[in-house]
Structure formats: structure tokens, C-alpha cells
A and B are shown apart, each in its own frame.
Chain A
């Protein structure tokens, strides 16, 4: 499991390898959770992120759209140096309303 509910917040644990192979599983899980539970905030936690490639950027962009559609905010937390670098290159910092910690 990559996701869990904390009150009105959907937590997504970005753990392990975030590549093409795993990104689709995370995406499906989030879509399913959002279809059942109304939330105010979607949080992607990079604390235990291992390897990352451009699939992770696609995953963030997709969740940004999901959160917008659900009327929720998107927050990225525990982003380390490498994660920040990739997010920056991928244009994630330019997204309106996104919070990156």
C-alpha cells in the first residue's frame, strides 16, 4: 500500500523505486482512494523515496490534476536534495498553489 487516509488528508508514501514500473501502481491506488473519499489535501511524502526518474515527475503532475479536480490542495513533503533538483527541472515548482517542503 502506498496510500492512507489521515482525517481529510490523503497521504501518499513515495517509497522505494519511483519508476515507470511502480508509478502506475501508485497512480491506480490514488485514483481509487479519491473516488471513495473526499479529501481536502493530498500529500506526497518523499521520506523513503529511493530511486527516481521522470516517471515520478509524471506522477506528481498527474496528482496535481487529481487534487485540483477533487478541490484539494497538493503538498510535497520531505523532499531531499536530489528530489528537489528533479522537481525543479521538471517544472513542478512553477505549478500554481503547490506546496513543496
Chain B
């Protein structure tokens, strides 16, 4: 990239961050987040619409398809900001569906989704902790995030060697909802194919890539969540006093904070590096390897940082009233979404190029 192009890129990412902060202020608006927990649908439809208006749901779609035509660098910056503000709106699952609908060129379904007026969720998953899409016609689809707010579902269906895409209205669908730790929902869908319409012959070539982008964006969201949890922890270490001293002066706690900082920096390097690789055109195994490296790290590090956040706070960290728990619960939900650390470690070894040394 030329220097001017790099500057443009940095500016575009900075702008995304600024506008994200207006919707989901970093570590600032836990009142909104709390008020939405354990409600139906678990997020604010008005905020999802706002996200649509900002062009975020179609951020990655080409402009010709009604999107913003931006890169993974922007997508990850956006997801990170939303993670820092714990925004419950299902932007990542919505963007995943937008990519498939864009590929299927179904403007009728795509337009309201991009506007944030309808929520189309892709019901691809048949087994826990998996990134493959078997497309089994009669299999129930599990762990559909925020399914309670869906207006329609996208169903990948195996037809011989092809993976067709069907659209199923959510109204009247056989859907069970379970609550998640962060106050959202997971849905289990038993699809009735007689009510579905076929909208694409074969999405087999893109669905893996689309899931990888969701995995990477989730890693970025977790990066934001752990940054916010870490900031809260540092603030506490700087102010809380015991034994007549600020607890941040205890060397054992300083070392713990230093270790967490290392994890944060590793996660950031992995996530931003993966996004840059995507934007530089990485495909196939090379792309899968960087996503897996980033998501494996983000999953483990986010759990660790949020656990330590509780421990370093003592008793107050164990109250629901204090925000430390919100970060812990968010990490619990997202660490294994779009693949656990174990899944991604395995996949990394299968896809990473041999070490040259």
C-alpha cells in the first residue's frame, strides 16, 4: 500500500471508531446494557436500526450491493468498539446474513436487513463447537444468537454437491429460546421446509469465508470487551486502598496486570494482523490460519482477563451491580461462539504454513 493509501485507511478506521463510540460508548453506558438484559429480544431494535442507518450491517458488502464496501480492518475496529461498550445488538450475525443475501443477490430480503429494520439470522449450526455447515435438511439448527428478535432465517441446505440457501419466515417457526449469561438468547430452530423459499442454488463456495469473517469479528468484539474490563481493573488498582496503600503498589498485583497487558497486546496483534491479511487479499488456508490464531487467543485471553478482573476487585467484583460481571458474562458467551479456542487451535495446525526454521 502506498503511504497515502495507508493514511486513508487509518483515517477510515478512526472514523468508524468515532461513530461507534457514539452508539456504544466505551465502558460508559452500562445502564442501557443492563436494562436490556434478560428482556425480549435482549437488544434495542431502535439501536439496530441506527446501526443499519450508519451502514454497519452492510459494512463489508460492495457498494453496488447496497453496502459500504469497507474492509475487515474497519469491521474489526467497529466490533472492538461495540465489544468495549458491550452492545447487545446482533451486528455480527446480521452482517453474516447480509453477506449471504448479497451473494444470493436477493434485494427484497437484503434491503430491510441492511436498514436494520428486519433481522435475518443464518441458522447454519447443527453441532456445538463447530464451524462446518452440513446443511442437513431435517436437522435442527442450534445456538442461533439473539434468535428471539429474528424476522426470518436463512437455511443452508445440502442438495447433492451444492449448498442451496432457503429463506424461512420467523413468524410461525418452531423456535425454542434459551437465555444466555449476557442477557441475550440462543435459539433452537426446527425448520419446516415446506414454509421456506429457495433463494440461491449454491452458497457452498462462500459460507466458510463468511463464517470466518464472523469468527474474526467476534475475536475483535472480545478484544474490546477485555480492553474495557482491563481498564476497569487498572482504575481500581489505582484507587482502592488497603493496608494504608493503593493496592496497585503491591508488586504481586503489578505483575498480574503486566501479564494481562501482554495477553491484550497479543490479542490485538493477532486480530489486527488477521484483518490486514484479509484486506490484502488472503484466501484459503492462509486466511483460515490467521482467523484461527486470532480467535483462539481472543477466546482464552478474554476469559482470563475477565476472571482476573473479578479477582483483583475482591468482594465487589462478585456483585451483579458492579460492571466486572458484565464483562465476565460477555466473554463466557462469545469465547466459544464461531469456534472455541480448542477448535481454532486444531484448525490452525491444519491450515498454517509450515514453520520455516
A joins B in a complex: no
Residues of A near any B CB (own CB < 8 A) = none
Residues of B near any A CB (own CB < 8 A) = none
